[in-house]
Amino acid sequence: AGHEAVLSCPYIFKESLLMVTWKKKCSSCCVLAYRSDHNETGKINCSERIMWKYSPYSDPALRIYPVKLGDEGNYSCEIMNSEGNFYFSSSLTVIVPPRVTLTYDEGRGAVCQASVGKPAADISWILASNPSTEEEIHHPNGTVTRVSYTGRGNSTLPTATCLVTHPATNQTLSIDL
C-alpha cells in the first residue's frame, strides 16, 4: 500500500496492435482501453491513480499509484490485433506494514502491538521469562491488529524485547521494566 504497482501486458507480436483493454474483475470496476485506429484512450470508473505506465501502443502496462487496499484483486488485459485476441491476467495482492508499539501496563506487563497490518504480523518475545498471551482483532478493511503481552509475573530481566515479523518489515523494540 502507498507504493507503485505495474502490471504488465506483454506485446511481442509482429502485427500492429488494434486495441488493448485492461479490466479489474468485478462489477462496475475500472476499464482502461486504447484503440489504435483512432489513437484514443478511454477510462470507465477509473480513478486518477490508475493509468498507462507508458504509451499503450508501445507498452500497454497498467500503473497504479499510490496503491490502496481496494486495488487488490484480479486484473485482465486483452490485446487485439489481426492475428486474434490475446488475454493476460494478473493478481494484485496489497501488503500493509503494521504500526508497531511497545508499552508497559501494570496489569498486563509489556504490551507489543502490531496495528492494522495485512497480513497479520507475527510477534515473539526475546528472552521473555513469562509466557505471553496474544489477541487478534480483524478490521472490516481486511487488516489485522495483533497484541501480545508478557504478563507481570516475576521477571528478573531489566528489559522486555519484542520482535515483530511481517512481509513488509521486521522490527525489534525494547522497553525497560
Verify that 154 and 171 share a domain, yes or no.
yes
User: What domain range includes position 145?
Assistant: 99-176
Verify that 109 and 145 share a domain, yes or no.
yes
Verify that 84 and 113 share a domain, yes or no.
no
**Cα–Cα–Cα angle for 105, 166, 168, rounded to 5 degrees:** 125
- CATH number for the domain spanning 81: value is 2.60.40.10
Q: What is the pLDDT of residues 35-85, one digit of tens each?
A: 998 889 999 999 899 999 988 888 899 999 999 999 999 999 999 988 899
Q: How many domains does the chain have?
A: 2
pTM: 0.79
| Cα 89 from Cα 29, distance rounded (Å) | 15
Verify that 85 and 149 share a domain, yes or no.
no
Last residue of a domain, one of 58, 74, 92: 92
